Structure formats: structure tokens, C-alpha cells
Amino acid sequence: MGSDLSEVVLVEQAGAVCRITLNRPDKLNALNDGIFEALAGALGEAEADVGCRAILLAGTGRGFCAGQDLTDALPDDLGRALETRYNPLVRQLRSLPKPVVCSVQGVAAGAGMNLALACDIVVAGRTARFSEAFVRIGLVPDAGGTWFLPRLAGEARARGLAMLGEPITGEQAAAWGLIWTAVEDGSELAEAERIADQLAALPTRAIGLMKRGFAAATVNSLDAQLALECILQREAGRSADFQEGVAAFREKRAPHFSGTP
């Protein structure tokens, strides 16, 4: 592998938040085999750890992530590379039954942009630069880009972003509905931490069920989705956190959610 996995991705537990930080700042956190392996491992551990109730994904240095490491030996079959590296990562983020908050400073380019879009809540600096840089090197958006972009920003903006490959700012990304919010440059990580802390104190099981609902809604009819909501709500209704939420309301006090599955 040539690099220590614990160095290319830093993992730290802060209360009930698991912080996962891409750490190749000299390459703007470009993605290589080591990062993929370490990231998959860190996300798997965060999922298994009942003490972890929210995940914060960030990058060190002046950029969040510049996409695929283009200085690495490039595979002959890029489709195979997606099947083995990018697609499992995007699926893992989307199916993880815990909220994932992403902090973006500086660039989020190519698969780096789409990695951010695969997270649940994205906070960026106002002048962060999001770009579907693929076209500049003769590729198509991957890591879910052709799926995320039209759903989040609409068809017209999706096509413009993908075909022109020009960067938009964090402020623009927020205005277009691609991300949750843009904040003053330099305060994106603190805001993402604040949101992750907030999420970690909420009913984790219900949030995991919401993710299932949103995932299914992309293909379901309204009828099928209404039926699914019965299943999800039945499960949420059996949770200790539902009992606690209702009890707290009746007793006019703040709830203390345990997040137990």
C-alpha cells in the first residue's frame, strides 16, 4: 500500500461523534487505494460502535478532496475501479444508519464533490469550490454524480455542472440546494461539528430509519412510500427514544434520547 492507513485517514471519537478526516493535504486529499481502504474501515467501525451516533467527515489542509489521485497509476478499466472502490463507498455512506455530516473547505472536485454529496448534511465555506471536474479530463461524473446532481439541483443545473466542469462556490451550492448551508470561510468545520453534536443527541434509530425512507423514495410510487412509512414508523414507535420524546413533552422537559437501536 505504501502508506500507513491510520495516517491517510484520521479517526477520532469526540463524545458520541466519530470524526473521520482525510489526511493527504499535500494532494488536496486526493483519493487513492489507501484512503479508500481506511475510509471503508473507519465507516464500518463507526456503524458498529453503538457509542457513535453521528459521523463527521472532513479533510485536512486547504481543500476537502480533489477526487481521484491522478498521479497514481490509473487502471485500464475505470468501470472496474468504480465497482471496487467508489461504488461501495457511496453505498456505505447512504445506507449507514447514522447521520453523516460533511465539512467542505476549499476544493471539492470530481469524486471529491460527489463524496460530499453522498453525505446527509454538507456545510461548506462560502468560497469553497465545488466542481464536477471530470469533463476536464475526458470522464463522466461518477461516485453517484449523475444521480445526485439532477435530484439536488435540477436537470438544467446538473447538465451545466457536469458538461462545463466549472466550479461553483459554497454559497452557490447552498443556493442551488446541493448542500445544507454555506458559512464564513474558516468556520465550516466548527459549524459541522456543532451540527454533528446536535445530531448525536437526537434519536439515532429514527434518523437511520429516515435514511431508509429517503433512499426508497427515489424509486417508490407515493403508494409504495406510504406503505414503507408504516413500516418505518412502526419500528420508530417501538423505540425507547419515542417513549422518552413523548414523556418529555408531557412532563414539559427536554428529552434525553439514548439512541439505542
Q: H helices within 50-154, ranges in order?
A: 78-81, 87-95, 111-117, 145-153
Q: Are 53 and 18 in contact (CB under 8 A)?
A: no
CA count, 13 A, side-chain hemisphere, 109: 24
- List the one residue from 1, 50, 137, 227 that touches ligand T3D (CB under 6 A): 137
Q: How far is the CB of 236 from ligand T3D (least distance, A)?
A: 37
Q: Does 192 bind ligand T3D (CB under 6 A)?
A: no
Q: Identify residues 11-30 at the interface with ligand T3D (CB under 6 A).
A: 27-28, 30
Size of the site for ligand T3D (CB under 6 A): 22
Q: Does 107 bind ligand T3D (CB under 6 A)?
A: yes
Instruction: Characterize the bridge pairing of strands 168-169 and 181-183.
Output: unpaired
Q: How far is the CB of 240 from ligand T3D (least distance, A)?
A: 42
Question: Between residues 68 and 103, which has the closer beta carbon with respect to ligand T3D?
Answer: 68
- List the one residue from 40, 81, 135, 216 that touches ligand T3D (CB under 6 A): 81
Question: Between residues 162 and 210, which has the closer beta carbon with respect to ligand T3D?
Answer: 162
Q: Identify residues 49-68 at the interface with ligand T3D (CB under 6 A).
A: 66-68
Q: Residues with Cβ < 8 Å from 223, sequence gap 6 or more? A: none
DSSP 193-260: HHHHHHHHTS-HHHHHHHHHHHHHHTT--HHHHHHHHHHHHHHHHTSHHHHHHHHHHHTTS-------
Q: Does 74 bind ligand T3D (CB under 6 A)?
A: yes
**At 249, which helix (H) or strand (E)?**
helix 240-250
Range in contact with ligand T3D (rule: CB under 6 A) among 119-127, 135-143, 155-163, 187-195: 135-143
What does residue 58 show for φ and ψ, rounded to 5 degrees? -145, 180
Q: Identify residues 154-183 at the interface with ligand T3D (CB under 6 A).
A: none
Q: Which three cell numbers stand for residue 68?
A: 481521484
List residues binding ligand T3D (CB under 6 A): 27-28, 30, 66-71, 74, 78, 81, 107, 109-111, 133-134, 136-137, 139, 142
